[in-house]
Structure 1
């Protein structure tokens, strides 16, 4: 994402969408009540002999008052819909329009409220992060994923139809197929993590080395307990990608949730869990870091809490549900806080 201009006074930001990752940020950044302006195709109608006929579409600069924001993963598109508030004179105001957002699109977003945590996430999206492949393998299956700044995308899953009881040739065919699948994506990757519970990873790494020394140099081999999405999450949790990613949003979230669960397990009074306890902690000025699941943040009550926490110099972290720790946090309520000082409840 490229932030072209930002004005906290006008509560306005102009951006250029550069990749699919940006759409994930914008899905949570743009809200009902915001205004979005962009060049967008709009149907043009002409009246001829009393009949109104559609004559095609024309690119127009249109501003809408947002009512709905929808991400469509099948076509990697964000659809922002609402009533038109500004447009060329031949376009009826207050009629409905959808702005389809894809990489390359320029948007001007005017917020009804300027939330610090949202702007921080937007600036985070501007940082360039490497493409990292994670492949977790064993004798039963392989799962290959792309690790980005704020999400994990599964690229491929391969099942081994042959067990150890089958001849060695069949097992080698599975290794070969897995290596070829990794090589298919490898050119686009900055780094590759090849991990798993057994020795399959070493066999596959050897095949890759024989085919391409350059690709082999990108590989880091590690150990995890699973060759499924659980293993992918384990790679992130164990920090195998830390040096490659830097302080990415995904890594920052994972570490923060880990810290939260550690205090929760100890029962040391340095965290609170649930809406009521979190609100009480905020009233006491105790919140250092507010953690909110992305599924909960658009609740008006929680939004107001986040703003109040920021006004008291607290930090707000939105927790994505695309990684294992984020899902666990969401499953136990999706709202809690790490505290400045210890609290004990009666």
Structure 2
């Protein structure tokens, strides 16, 4: 039989369903074909970085800014965090959308560890393979973190195997390993500077300020309270989670906020702080001054 070959075609699809996988940066778009081959049939487009896509849609100002910011992305818009404690090594990818676990490596226990001591940290080879798999081009920042001396030992062994890591590997002390260790490291000044271009870092900074201001009456949350604050001109920064972005009341709120000179930020729900805001109604505001009632 003749070998099948793929032929590139141009299709216009009326979108009905969209599914985005933030940590693989792949977008699945499903809908009816309106122009091109097989008009009237359903088709799914798999979109990933580098794919040329034309969007026919009336966009709001926030959506345009969102697309511009996303368009400035790239490999450098993520980092790999290697969390080390006395039991296991955990890998996390941090990008514009949040923190995702990428795998774990338990330490050899008891006597087995000491038998391997002279040969070096055997698990370092597995960690290095995982780093290469996530980052085959060898360009994204690496952060090695955790309590105690284990992270220093792992760093030594990684550099023995690949000296090129030295220029992009930072070591950070944290009080714990795992996810909580990564969250702690994201507040470290060195890490803040290294990852300053990430949308996530800007979001976490705003949300920390938002939550800290609530007890002082300098933050509002929930649709009614935030609407009142906007009408009084009290909103410095308006925060809205992504899942509410296309609801009519949100666009009205955006228009009022713009008139009052408020900054508007759309918040991802792929991280813990964003999910907390969603549970509070999906909308919050950092206030210029306290409001009564």
TM-score (norm 2): 0.82
Question: In the superposition, relative to structure 1, how do residues 257 and 170 fare at CA in structure 2: closer, same or farther (>3 Å)?
Answer: farther
Q: Relative to structure 1, is the Cα distance of residues 253 and 339 closer, same or farther in structure 2, using a 3 angstrom cutoff?
A: same
Query: Which has the larger share of helix?
Result: 2
Check the 8 A contact 1:208/1:216 in 2, yes or no: no
Q: Which residue of 2 aligns with 1:196?
A: 146
Q: Secondary structure at the match of 2:281?
A: coil
1:271 Cα offset (Å) = 1.0
**Offset at residue 277 of structure 1 (A):** 0.6
Q: Write the distance in 2 (CA, Å) between the matches of 1:336 and 1:234.
A: 24
Aligned counterpart, 2:250: 302
**1:205 counterpart residue number:** 155
Post-superposition offset of 1:230: 2.1
Note the C-alpha offset of 1:236.
Answer: 1.6
* TM-score normalised by structure 1 residue count: 0.71
Matches within 5 A, 1:1-346: 59-71=8-20, 77-85=26-34, 87-88=35-36, 91-92=38-39, 94-112=40-58, 114-128=59-73, 130=76, 131-160=78-107, 162=109, 166=111, 168-169=113-114, 172=117, 176-184=121-129, 185=131, 188-265=138-215, 267=216, 269-345=217-293
Higher strand share: 1
Q: Aligned equivalents of 1:275 and 1:167: distance in 2? A: 58
Q: Provide, for residues 140-183 of structure 1, a one-character-per-residue CA deviation record: whole Å limited to 9, x for no partner.
A: 11111233333334322122352xx5465168499824422332
State the distance in 1 between where 2:172 and 2:146 align: 7
State the SS of the aligned residue for 1:176: coil
Alpha-carbon offset, residue 224 of structure 1: 1.7
CA RMSD of aligned residues (A): 3.1
In structure 1, runs of 5+ residues without a counterpart are 1-54
Q: Bigger CA drift: 280-289 or 193-202?
A: 280-289
Query: 1:60 aligns to what SS in structure 2?
Result: coil
1:195 positional shift: 0.7
**Structure 2 residues not aligned, in runs of 5+:** none
Note the alpha carbon deviations across 1:251-302, whole angstroms, 9 max, x for none: 110111011111113x2x3210112211211222322211112233343323
